[in-house]
Structure 1
């Protein structure tokens, strides 16, 4: 199938605008590949440290004749998604030995859970944890004794952080190894209803906790289609997973077999062999466009309008929100997974999953097929699904028909003709809105602003019965420089309740809503943020705001002369930079780029083009 001309044209424009940065990045990884010392060429003291604790692998590491795989892991046993990773290093080491190689845990990276820190001070460390993870990955690999990398991680900031860090060692092959989803619990819509009732004071804490525990009940990734599962989709459609591995359940024999095969495959990709596949060549303009297309076709997490930008820059490539918006107009919505539907990722996987999705998008010409992947040249192998036959791992073609058209559809019968992600522009700046789950009648409104300096203030106003009409809730000073750009999930239940009562409601914020963005229209990531001189700081209670997702407009209806003279509100005080470790992140806040540049603390020139 010929590549869609809109996809081809956009890819070419990205390539042209990124030329300087990409050339600098590729020169960097070529230099690293040529300068990398062989383990036996380093000093004896250096070498001895690498195998002192290696046990049965001591001799192989000492001789340095076999490839050595570095494992970077986000394992901890408190978070359900990452607890399964504890078993992986032993499987990987055994598979590496069988393939004539060795493997070592190079280092660990932090893995925090936004589901635990929601509404808490720790949430203000969440986004910047991505950059910490990138740096921790670089520290792990800086020992410079590895021939390939296996990255073990799952959730929100962890996978982007691992990838950003590994890209600094882009001369090495890298295989990403997912953990798999937990078994399905109570339906997500049922859980959401309990949350709304609790927000309205109609459900007790005991009832709410019981619902949450029934939803998150076992090891594995949460099953709704938030950022964690969007990560897994992205790694697969970008060719960084083994085909079909994204949503294989945790704890299954197939999951173990795929993890072992990831190590076997990594050995085959090392320099000196015929299949040498450095990470820096896998992640190119085509792979990033494929990632954006996959995100749009599945209604994935809005967090990736930040993360994909930051990942691209780590590879010397520049993308922005206009690229997402342009692609969205040409990419149909082929999946409905909660919060954009009632099903979870287990149901999506059972309906045909990634293999079905990738085949549909390839056959429609919306994905670049001629890419480099960890499975070999070309994306077509990702239309296959793994299975065990008599204990042996094999791949078969994914079903040609969806197992459930309420969850996954062909390109001939999409849920919507576009991807449902829109760029909003106007006199309030640039922002993103996801409308995949927003009914058409709720996508446009003009209503008075009600201004809040944090989600706690909005919740208090709701509990006090102050929100009794149409409104646009403006929650500002939530950007990366202000307080680390926390997710504002706790606003969803009260705003959804107001919408259910017949009010026209929307949210406008320089904070985030993530993969939990749902049926209430939300203009998020507003840039520039209020603390950086953004127009949100000028809004006052009662100002009329127009949000029109169909036309891509976000405007305040104030006389331009009055607006120009209106002073900005000062940022709130109250010790928002202290407690729960926030003191340590002052440098990150001070140097954070705007959201459209990835909200990264690595600076605006983190794209290889810097001197």
Structure 2
């Protein structure tokens, strides 16, 4: 089925807007492809350094130009449950490369921090900017010009977007992303949320809370709720950078290892040395970006990707705006319910039909571009399949189920949970913001109430503890944008706001910070731009102003007399407390250079208009 006219129109608008930047980008990667790598033209000293630690056979292979060399860029550390399984992936990849007649080397590592550990802590101020550090680290890893393709080992929040940006800087190289999979299901996510709220109310102690959290996050693998990490995996598959069906296979299983071997061999098969050359800069085009946004809406994915997709696109010379997200949201239905948008986790989603069913249903309803390049070849139709273990222990594929095996979790696009996507754009005299509505009950899509203004999340938590928030209100938490303090997630506020909402109060959050991939049942207008530290309208709000957060009409407004509103001077926040400590002083240049949220909240070229790329 051809893509629907509305999808085609958004894609065409992005392509037209991006024409100059995209052409310049493609010209650069064509030049890079022509220039190398050609190991035979490296000086003997260069080459000797590049393979000094290799075995004899690999040295002999790398001495010429004819054997492909695979660079491994890894985000392994054993503190992150999602990344701990990567410890043994390089050995698996090296062996697979040898079987395929190639060589594989670990090109470099990138940092990987856990937002679950830093949530509500000073270290969270480094989180978003770690994306840029990861991109630059990937660039350093590949700068040795020894490689014909690269595989990227990363899963979690800023890590995959950072690796993507780094990969696109080397857009002439094929890139295959290799996931490690989610941990098996533990304590149900809704039960975990219930216990968090009980702790916020003082009804259980810390030991009880820690016991519940430990039963939720209990082993190697990605956290099982549908936050940014698992949204990343969906994006990599629907954009054609995973092998089909690879996203949600559990770690340390025979199928997981088989998929890792297959990914390494496939990366070697699509280099410029063969007949299927597939550079990542051509895989990620306007159609692939639109497919990613469609997938985000259809699954109720992470709000963080209204930043990350913009930044990824710009790294490929493509200019995406929140208006594109909004236009696509109107025509893309929500067809998955995974916590926090439902009660099930990603393991249940995978069992119900997973990515193969999701992609097939979206294709059948004209909601995805099928005619795209992918690392698997064959356009997006090849992603209607699910991965299985073959008779010899190899990765094999079969058609995904034609019908969902559990319509409480996953439905066809012809029978969705709701007709529009999970994210919406809000605009008004408070600026522009995004809101995730897939987990918010319809009767809470509009909140009109007095503002209570805070400059830190700690102020809000103290007010809750003191019993000062037992009323209808809109919490305004400002000076949380990228230039103020690195735009931390404010997910620590979720239990308290959830408690107040459950007590019958009309509650909403408005902030120039982020919330989380786990944004849930409380309506939250986030990423407000311009941010407060840049003099944005959010800095004019005073406690007692009536604010209207309206996800139905798509508006975000202070109901204040226009003349009074225009005459108000923006409040200037005291940022001294978040400039130092826990490494924050190292990121002062990033805060100074950060672009606005709608441009991806990146630094330097990543926040520049694509037309100037």
The answer to whether the Cα contact below 8 Å between 2:596 and 2:607 also exists between their aligned partners in 1 is: no
Give the corresponding residue for 1:422. 424
Alignment match, 1:109: 110
- Superposed, 1:2-81 pairs within 5 Å as 2-56=2-56, 57-81=58-82
SS state at 2:6 partner:
helix
Contact kept in structure 2, 1:50 and 1:61, CA below 8 Å: no
Cα shift at 1:200: 1.0
The answer to whether the 8 A contact 2:151-2:267 is kept is yes
In the TM superposition, 1:442-591 aligns within 5 A as: 442-591=444-593
Q: How far is the alpha carbon of 1:566 from its aligned partner? A: 1.1
In 1, are the aligned partners of 2:599 and 2:607 still within 8 Å (CA)?
no
Measure how far apart 1:126 and its partner are.
Answer: 0.1
Task: Report the secondary structure of 1:22's partner residue.
Answer: helix
Looking at structure 1, the residues matched to 602 and 397 of structure 2 have their Cα atoms a distance apart, in angstroms, of: 39
Residues 37 and 251 (structure 1), Cα distance of their counterparts in 2 relative to 1, 3 Å cut:
closer
* Map of 1:260 onto structure 2: 261
Per-residue CA deviation, residues 568-610 of structure 1 (Å, 9 max, x unaligned), is 1121244211000000101100000000000001246646543
Identify the residue that residue 392 of structure 1 maps to in structure 2: 394
2:123 corresponding residue in structure 1 = 122
8 Å contact kept, 1:164–1:310: yes
Q: Deviations over 1:2-23 (max 9, x none)?
A: 2100000110110000000000
How much does 1:37 deviate? 4.2
TM-score by length of 2: 0.99
- Matched residue, 1:597: 599
Look up the match of 2:363: 362
Alignment CA distance shift 1:608-1:553 (3 Å): closer
Give, in angstroms, the shift of residue 51 of structure 1: 0.9
Q: Secondary structure at the match of 2:388?
A: strand
Structure 2 unaligned blocks of 5 or more: none
Contact persistence 2:365–2:414 (CA under 8 A): no
Q: How does 1:137-176 map to 2 (within 5 A)?
A: 137-176=138-177
Mapped contact 1:315–1:607 kept (Cα < 8 A): no
Q: Conserved in 2, the CA contact under 8 Å of 1:75 and 1:86?
A: yes
Structure 2 Cα separation of the partners of residues 314 and 89 of structure 1 = 27
Secondary structure of residue in 2 paired with 1:377 = coil
Distance in 1 between the 2:78 and 2:59 partners?
Answer: 29
Supply the distance in 2 between the matched residues of 1:573 and 1:163 (Cα, whole angstroms): 31
> Residues 604 and 160 from structure 1, CA distance in 2 versus in 1: closer, same or farther, beyond 3 angstroms?
closer
| TM-aligned CA distance change 1:260 to 1:589, over 3 Å | same
Deviations 1:454-497 (A, max 9, x none): 11110000000001110000000000000000000011101010
Q: Aligned-pair distance for 1:65? A: 2.7
Deviation at 1:393, TM superposition (A): 2.0
Q: How does 1:211-290 map to 2 (within 5 A)?
A: 211-290=212-291
Taking the aligned partners of 2:475 and 2:47, their CA distance within structure 1 comes to 59
Which ranges of structure 1 fall in alignment gaps of 5 or more residues? none
Give the SS at the match of 1:72: strand
Residue 395 of structure 2 aligns to a residue in which SS? strand
Instruction: State the SS of the aligned residue for 2:272.
Output: coil
* Whole-angstrom distance in 2 between the partners of 1:466 and 1:514: 25
Secondary structure of the residue aligned to 2:125 is helix
* Offset from partner CA, 1:11-58 (integer Å, 9 cap, x none): 011000000000000000011111124112111100000111012422
What TM-score does the superposition give when structure 1 sets the normalisation length? 0.99
Work out the CA distance in 2 between the residues paired with 1:37 and 1:442. 56
Alpha-carbon distance in structure 1 between the residues aligned to 2:402 and 2:321: 34
Distance 1:73 1:593, change over 3 A: same
User: Whole-Å Cα distance in 2 between the matches of residues 453 and 13 of structure 1?
Assistant: 38
In structure 2, C-alpha distance between the alignment counterparts of 1:34 and 1:61, rounded to whole Å: 19
Compute the RMSD of aligned alpha carbons. Answer: 1.0
Q: Which residue of 2 aligns with 1:95?
A: 96
3-state SS of paired residue (1:523) = strand
Which of the residues 398, 405, 408 maps onto 2:407?
A: 405
Contact 2:68 2:273 in 1 (8 A): no
Equivalents in 1 of 2:343, 2:350: separation in Å?
14
> Does the 8 Å CA contact 1:593/1:603 hold for their aligned counterparts?
no
Contact 2:186–2:216, Cα closer than 8 Å, also in 1:
yes
1:236 and 1:313, CA in 2 relative to 1: closer, same or farther beyond 3 A?
A: same
Contact 2:244–2:385 (8 Å) recurs in 1: yes
SS at match of 2:604: coil
- The match for 2:137 is 136
Q: Which residue is 1:337 aligned to? A: 338
Q: Aligned-pair distance for 1:274?
A: 1.2
After superposition, the C-alpha distances for 1:353-390 in whole angstroms (9 at most, x for unaligned) are 00000000000000000000000131001000011122
Secondary structure of 1:149's counterpart equals: strand
Distance in 2 between residues matched to 1:607 and 1:280, nearest whole Å:
18
Q: 1:375 to 1:604 in 2, by over 3 A?
A: closer
Q: Matches of 2:388 and 2:326 in 1, distance apart?
A: 37
Does structure 1 conserve the Cα–Cα contact (< 8 Å) formed by 2:491 and 2:515? Answer: yes
Match of 1:305 in 2: 306
Q: Deviations over 1:222-280 (max 9, x none)?
A: 00000000000000000000000000111110000000000110111000321000000
